[in-house]
Structure 1
Amino acid sequence: MTTKTAVISFCRLLMGLALVVSSIVNGYKLRYHGESFKPDIVLRVTENSIPVACSTRYSVVINGTSPGPEIRLRQGRTYWIRVYNDMETQNLTMHWHGLSMAASPFSDGSPQASQWPIAPQYFFDYELHPNVGDAGTYFYHSHVGFQAMSASGPLIIEDDDPPYQYDGERTIHLSDLFLQTDEQIETGLTQPPYVWSGEPSNVLVNGQGVLLNPGADTGDTECSLATILVEPEKVYRLRFIGATALSYVSLGFQSHNNLSIIEADGDYTQPFGVDHLQIGAGQRFSALMRTKSRKELEEDRANGINHYFLQIETRERPDSVRSYAALIYPGGSYNVSTAPANPPMILPSTTLGWLDYQLRPLTPNNFPTLAEVTRRVTVTITQIVNNTLVTFLQNGFPWTESFPPMPYLVALYNEDLSLFPSYESAINNGGMDNRTRTFPAKLGEVLEIIIQMTGAGNGILNVHPFHAHGAHFYDIGSGSGAYDLMQNEERLKGVEPVRRDTAMTYRYPGSGIPGVPWAWRAWRLRVTDAGVWLVHCHILQHMLMGMQTVWVFGDRNDVLRLGYPAVKGYLSYGGEAYGNSSRWPTCVHYWDDDDD
Structure 2
Amino acid sequence: MQIALFELQSQANAEICSANNVHTNINNTKACQVCTPNATNTVWSHCQCVLADGVERGILTINRMIPGPSIQVCENDKVVIDVENHMEGMEVTIHWHGIWQRGSQYYDGVPFVTQCPIQQGNTFRYQWTGNAGTHFYHSHTGLQKLDGIYGSIVVRQPPSRDPNSHLYDFDLTTHIMLISDWLHEDAAERYPGRLAVNTGQDPESCLINGKGQFRDPNTGFMTNTPLEIFTITPGRRYRFRMINAFASVCPAQVTIEGHTMTVIATDGEPVQPVNVNTIISFSGERYDFVINADQPVGAYWIQLRGLGECGIRRVQQLGILRYARGPYQPQSAPPTYDVGLPQGVVMNPLDAQCNRDRNDAICVSQLKNAQEIDRGILAEKPDVKIFLPFRFFVYRPEELFQPNTYNRFLVAPTGDHVISLIDEISYLSAPAPLLSQYDDINPDQFCNGDNRPANCGANCMCTHKIDIPLNAVVEVILIDEVQQPNLSHPFHLHGYSYSVIGIGRSPDTNVKKINLKHALDLDRRGLLHREYNLPPSKDTLAVPNNGYIVLRFRANNPGFWLFHCHFLFHIVIGMNLILQVGTQADLPPVPPGFPTCGDHTPPIPIN
Scaled by the length of structure 2, what TM-score is found? Answer: 0.75
The within-5 A match list for 1:377-416 is 377-386=386-395, 387=397, 389-400=417-428, 403-414=429-440
User: Which digits, 9 at most, give the CA deviation of each residue in 1:558-596, with x for residues without a partner?
Assistant: 24x526xx555332379xxxxxxxxxxxxxxxxxxxxxx
Listed as ranges, the matches of 1:227-376 within 5 Å are 227-246=229-248, 247-256=250-259, 258-293=260-295, 296-297=296-297, 306-317=298-309, 319=312, 320-334=314-328, 340=334, 342=336, 343=339, 345-347=341-343, 350-353=349-352, 354-367=362-375, 368-376=377-385
CA distance, structure 2, for counterparts of residue 116 and residue 461 of structure 1: 36
- Output the CA distance in 2 between the equivalents of 1:67 and 1:534: 24
> Which amino acid counterpart does residue 10 of structure 2 have in structure 1?
E
Q: Distance in 2 between matches of 1:281 and 1:339?
A: 29
Deviations 1:454-511 (A, max 9, x none): 135xx6561111100011111112212444337877854561111110001122xxxx
User: What secondary structure sits across from 1:188 in the alignment?
Assistant: coil
Residue in structure 1 matching 2:585, options 548, 551, 557: 557
Match of 1:107 in 2: 107
Corresponding residue pairs, total: 497
Alpha-carbon distance in structure 1 between the residues aligned to 2:151 and 2:575: 24
Shift of 1:217: 7.1
| Matched AA of 2:504 | G
1:292 Cα shift? 2.1
Structure 2 CA distance for partners of 1:488 and 1:275, relative to 1, 3 Å: farther
Distance 2:388 2:116 in 1: 27
1:527-566 matched pairs, under 5 angstroms: 527-559=555-587, 561-562=588-589
Aligned partner of 2:10 in structure 1 is 47
Q: Which has the higher contact order (CA 8 A, sep 6+)?
A: 1
Aligned-residue offset at 1:406: 2.7
Task: Find the aligned partners of 2:228 and 2:363 in 1 and give their Cα distance.
Answer: 28
State how 1:457-496 maps to structure 2 within 5 Å: 462-481=487-506, 482=514, 483=519, 484-485=522-523, 491-493=529-531, 495-496=533-534
Shift in Å at residue 335 of structure 1?
5.2
1: CA distance, partners of 2:220 / 2:370 = 50
Maintained 8 Å contact 2:263/2:289? yes
Shift in CA distance, 212/488, structure 1 to aligned 2, threshold 3 Å: farther
The alignment partner of 1:390 has SS state of strand
Per the alignment, residue 224 of structure 1 pairs with 226
Report the counterpart of residue 539 of structure 2 in structure 1.
501
Q: Determine the C-alpha separation between the residues in 2 that align with 1:435 and 1:344.
A: 46
Confirm whether residue 173 of structure 1 aligns to residue 178 of structure 2.
yes
- Structure 1 distance, partners of 2:434, 2:247, is 25
Residue type of the partner of 1:286?
A: D
Is 1:204 paired with 2:242?
Answer: no
* Paired residue secondary structure (1:570): coil
- In structure 2, what residue type is equivalent to 1:362? A
Q: How has the CA–CA distance of structure 1 residues 104 and 573 changed in structure 2, closer, same or farther, with 3 Å as cutoff?
A: farther
| CA shift in 2, pair 1:194/1:435, >3 Å | farther
How far apart, in 2, do the equivalents of 1:128 and 1:556 lie? 20
Give, in whole Å, the separation in 2 of the partners of 1:244 and 1:450: 24
Partner deviation per Cα, 1:401-428 (whole Å, 9 max, x = no partner): xx323333344053756667799859xx
* CA offsets 1:157-207 (integer angstroms, 9 cap, x no match): 011234414232311000111112122123438xx9998543211121000
- Whole-angstrom CA distance in 2 between matches of 1:291 and 1:489: 45
Distance verdict in 2 for CA 1:40–1:478, change over 3 Å: same
Structure 1 residues 222, 351: closer, same or farther in 2, change over 3 A? closer
Partner of 2:481: 454
Give, as a single letter, the amino acid of the residue that structure 1 aligns with 2:257: Q
Query: Aligned with 1:72: secondary structure?
Result: strand
Secondary structure at the aligned position of 1:352 is classed as coil
Could you say if the C-alpha distance between residues 390 and 567 of structure 1 is closer, same or farther in structure 2, counting changes exceeding 3 Å?
farther
- Equivalence for 2:42: none
**Distance verdict in 2 for CA 1:548–1:420, change over 3 Å:** closer
Q: 1:253·1:310 contact (CA, 8 Å) conserved in 2?
A: yes
Q: Distance in 2 between matches of 1:110 and 1:60?
A: 19
Matched residue of 1:148: which SS?
Answer: helix
After superposition, the C-alpha distances for 1:279-310 in whole angstroms (9 at most, x for unaligned) are 110000110110125xx33xxxxxxxx42111
CA deviations over 1:341-389 (Å, ceiling 9, x no partner): 6445133684433523221121212151243401211111121122363
CA contact (8 A) 1:465 1:505 kept: yes
Q: Percent of aligned pairs with the same residue?
A: 23
**Is this contact kept in 2: 1:248–1:280, CA < 8 A?**
yes
Cα displacement (A) at 1:331? 3.5
The separation in 1 between residues aligned to 2:333 and 2:93, in whole angstroms, is 35
User: 2:426 aligns to what SS in structure 1?
Assistant: coil
Q: Shift in Å at residue 273 of structure 1?
A: 1.5
Preserved CA contact (<8 Å) 1:392 1:547 = yes
Evaluate the alpha carbon distance shift between residue 550 and residue 409 of structure 1 in structure 2; reply closer, same or farther with a 3 A threshold. same
4+ runs of 1 displaced by more than 3 Å? 38-41, 192-198, 212-219, 341-344, 348-351, 413-426, 433-436, 481-494
Q: How big is the shift at 1:215? A: 8.3
1:112–1:404 CA contact under 8 A, matched in 2: yes
Q: Distance in 2 between matches of 1:384 and 1:284?
A: 31
Residue 412 to residue 196, structure 1, CA distance change in 2 (3 Å): farther
Q: Is the 8 A contact 1:323 1:339 kept in 2?
A: no
Counterpart contact for 2:190–2:201, Cα < 8 Å: no
Q: What pairs up with 1:120-199 in 2 under 5 angstroms? A: 120-130=120-130, 134-149=131-146, 150-161=148-159, 162-163=162-163, 164-165=165-166, 166-168=168-170, 169=172, 170-188=175-193, 196-199=199-202
Q: Does the CA-based 8 Å contact 1:236-1:289 persist in structure 2?
A: yes
**TM-score scaled by structure 1?**
0.76
Distance in 2, matches of 1:157 and 1:460, equals 37
Q: 1:475 to 1:494 in 2, by over 3 A?
A: closer
1:67 maps to what in 2? 67
Amino acid at match of 2:235: E
Given that 1:466 and 1:503 are in contact with CA atoms closer than 8 Å, whether structure 2 keeps it comes out as yes
Instruction: Provide closer, same or farther for how the CA distance between residues 455 and 95 of structure 1 changes in structure 2, counting only shifts above 3 A.
Output: closer
Which consecutive unaligned segments of at least 5 residues does structure 1 have?
1-37, 298-305, 427-432, 508-517, 575-596
Which secondary structure does the structure 1 equivalent of 2:115 belong to? coil
Whether contact under 8 Å (2:365, 2:536) holds in the other structure is no
Q: Which shifted more, 111-120 or 408-417?
A: 408-417
1:41 is paired with a residue whose SS is strand
> CA 1:92–1:489 in structure 2 vs 1: closer, same or farther (change >3 Å)?
same
Q: Is the 8 A contact 1:241 1:285 kept in 2?
A: yes
